[in-house]
Structure 1
């Protein structure tokens, strides 16, 4: 399975299924493998950031640069594990954990007002002024029981987002 151009064996499929907590069927894993091989244009066994950016939905995402830090250099097994957070069978906790990693800019296991502001800046671009972003973010934190000085840890993030009814799903087309 190290070489992207090789064929998946039944053992490989089962190993990948176990690695992604059985959130994808065997048929979906084969479809994902075919897509992985298409993206891995040089057949080196992993996908580079440039190859990820060839996916229109990915490149158009305002958070694509943050996501690139998480996905650059993924092998097939880790590619499927990353996508598993988008599976309809993924738990809200699995989805929030991925979002938390996107917001945790410095990777220290906490999200600060500054981190949230950076992500909001990426999402809103020139549509909001810095002052508007700070005001909105301050109000959202206050309504959730936090202040600008608060650091949100994963548990806090779960509490705030659990009420949001997340819809993070990707459909894996299988032929």
Structure 2
């Protein structure tokens, strides 16, 4: 028998399976993918607390083919990083890919989509959040007046309680009526 490289302990693998939508094999594939991002930074074997402490930079993450063309790549990394700056540990990266996997349930995807669009982190999607979203989606091709009209229309259509911003429940209601949401909110490993 050849020597088998042990990347994680049995307990770590069990914990990752319990906390994600991945099999053991997929978790090991995610680790391999994570290591490929910055091989000089990420060790082959993750010991003790390294899965939480070894971080890959936001700049390196943004170059991943799965994120490179996504206008929200920086924001996605910020939401999933424990440091809030977009630098991802293995566990952060595993969480990100788990949420964006096809196996993740719709309600988890809706929750994280809300977090991604809530740029200021105030638990609402307000006009400023919608403005930033539009700038990213349109690559700043709209003028201020066009942007303002779209923001006003979105709030008018989705703001049920009339407070001028979208709560999670209002956002969820809009997203559940969007049949393409699930097909656009995933990343394959």
TM-score interval (norm. to shorter): 0.7 to 0.9
Conserved? CA contact 1:113–1:149, under 8 Å: no
Q: Is the 8 A contact 1:105 1:115 kept in 2?
A: yes
Is residue 46–residue 73 contact of structure 1 (8 Å, CA) maintained in 2?
yes
Per the alignment, residue 64 of structure 1 pairs with: 73
Cα deviations across residues 100-119 of structure 1 (Å, max 9, x unaligned)?
11111111211111211111
SS across alignment from 1:123: helix
Does the aligned pair in 1 maintain the 2:58–2:88 contact within 8 Å? no
Which aligned segments of 4 or more residues in structure 1 are displaced greater than 6 angstroms?
Answer: none
Structure 1 stretch 5-14 or stretch 109-118: which is displaced more? Answer: 5-14
Structure 1 position 51 matched with structure 2 position 65: no
Structure number with greater CO (CA < 8 Å, separation at least 6) is 1
Q: Retained in 1: the 8 A contact 2:99–2:108?
A: yes
Task: Tell me whether 1:11 sits opposite 2:11 in the alignment.
Answer: yes
Is 1:156 the counterpart of 2:173? The answer is no
Q: TM-score, normalised by structure 2?
A: 0.77
User: After alignment, is 114-123 or 133-142 more displaced?
Assistant: 133-142
Distance 1:30 1:47 in 2: 17
Q: Which consecutive unaligned segments of at least 5 residues does structure 2 have?
A: 43-53
Aligned residues: 166
Q: How does 1:21-170 map to 2 (within 5 A)?
A: 23-44=21-42, 45-70=54-79, 71=81, 72-146=86-160, 150-165=164-179, 166=181, 167=183, 168-170=185-187
Gaps of 5+ in 1: none
**Cα deviations across residues 4-63 of structure 1 (Å, max 9, x unaligned)?**
x9712332221111122xx11121111111101111333352211122022133232212
Q: Judge conservation of contact 1:100–1:154 (CA < 8 Å) in 2.
A: yes
- Give the secondary structure class of the aligned counterpart of 1:122: helix
Q: 1:170 to 1:67 in 2, by over 3 A?
A: closer
